[in-house]
Amino acid sequence: MAQMVYDSMEHYTRDVGPAEKEYLTECEIDIQNIGWTLGNDCPYRCRHCYSMSARKKGKDLDLATIDRVTNQIALLGAKTVNLGGNEPLFTNGPNPKNTLLPYIVSSLVNRGVDVGLTTSGISATYLEKYYPEEFHMLNDVDISLDSPYESEHNDNRGGKIFPMAIEALEICKKHQKDFTIVMCAMNWNFTEDRIRELVKLARYYGSNVRINPIKPVEAEHMKTALNAEQYYEGFSLLMELCDQLDLTEPTLSAVTQYQDSKRCPCGRKSFRIHSITPDGKIPISPCVYLHDYKVGNLLEDDLLDLIKSPQFQTFRRRNAHPEAILGCEECEIVNLCGGGCASRAYLYNLHNNGERSLFSRDPFCPKDNPINVPFPYNPQMEKVHLVHRDYLCTWIGRPKN
């Protein structure tokens, strides 16, 4: 597989993600779900990290900065914010005593926003122990596991933190908090035995399961990326073992003929607030994985203006006109998948072909890849309120009894 030399830090020096097909109309703006990368430090070294690998450690947060961001979120009328993208406890360096996470949680909740937390375990356990009021304010918690096997998880995370994830699961179960085990699906962990063990673990604790297939933010990530066969085999098994809670993976919407598909939500329904930069700026992007499309400074710019920027408009043009994607022109399922996941399409094309274009086709296009496993037809989603529903191209399920 040929790969180009790619500088993941280039977005710090210039606008990288191209504004494309400006003659096309856009889909509607209906921002409801926001992710916020809080931390400027992390004690772990996850091999698949899409945050630290494409950014520089920035300044610390302060109360005035937090108030500015949370006020902008409230003015926009967003319904949910997920705090993650790094270990969210470490808002101000590696000492948890300096954290402003409790203040951020209460500031958002007091403004009428439902808050979720994505953590390796430490942020949830720390809040529950030292800030129980703010812990109980959380709408739901996502706990990251890279493998249901302790040694593999610890090896990929660069630390012995599997017990902390299990403790977080036990805490959420004890407090009857809605919670989800989330796994970044890679070619070494998205196997039948690990999927079955992951679902078994979730069933034991009463947790949901969420799967994000790895997005190759760096070229190095392509070594652990899924292929299409593994992608469809893994999700077929998950849909057999679980009831469906969310199906915003566009290619899965296509193979299941999910009639309520809205295609990729990025820039339309959701976006990402990134961590503070060394020069004190807080940019945003339509998709957490596409640092090439970072824009603005939330400490000076109004959110609505940034959402109307060329970077965001290009995402919405792709959503509204998937027939403009090369190879999707006359496809009979294009209205379901919309050309697939925008970030996966962009990044695979970038690393494989050296091209920067959002109007690329998802490499897991079901028309290009034979599907030899069963999928349910038009699966019905259970009505649950989780911050990751319709945020990111993702899948969420609940283990069947």
Domains of the chain and any CATH numbers? 28-320+383-399 (3.20.20.70)
Q: pLDDT (tens digit, 9 = 90+) per residue, 283-300?
A: 999 999 999 999 999 999
Q: Does pTM surpass 0.85? A: yes
pLDDT given for residue 390 in this prediction: 87
Q: How many residues does the chain have?
A: 401
> Per-residue b/e over 121-155, b at no fewer than 16 CB within 10 Å?
bbbbbbbbeebeebbebbbbbbbbbbbbbeebbbe
Contact 275, 263 (CB under 8 A): no
Joined together, the tokens standing for residue 64 give 């005035």
- Nearest by Cα to 88 from 48, 59, 126: 126
Between 41 and 33, name the one with better pLDDT.
33
Joined together, the tokens standing for residue 157 give 């995370």
Mean pLDDT score of the chain, rounded to an integer? 92
Q: Is the pLDDT of residue 1 over 50?
A: no
Q: Is 69 helix (H, G, I), strand (E, B) or coil?
A: helix
Q: Which band of pLDDT confidence, cut at 50, 70 and 90, is reported for residue 86?
A: confident
Separation of alpha carbons 257 and 251, rounded Å: 10
What residues contact 211, with CB distance under 8 A and at least 6 apart?
Answer: 182, 183, 185, 190, 234, 235, 238, 394, 395
Q: Is 226 helix (H, G, I), strand (E, B) or coil?
A: coil
Between 49 and 304, name the one with better pLDDT.
304
Separation of alpha carbons 273 and 292, rounded Å: 14
Separation of alpha carbons 347 and 89, rounded Å: 29
Highest mean pLDDT (candidates 16-20, 44-48, 388-392): 388-392
pLDDT given for residue 149 in this prediction: 97
Q: pLDDT (tens digit, 9 = 90+) per residue, 315-327?
A: 999 999 999 999 9
The DSSP 8-state label assigned to residue 223 in this structure reads G
Q: Which band of pLDDT confidence, cut at 50, 70 and 90, is reported for residue 45?
A: low
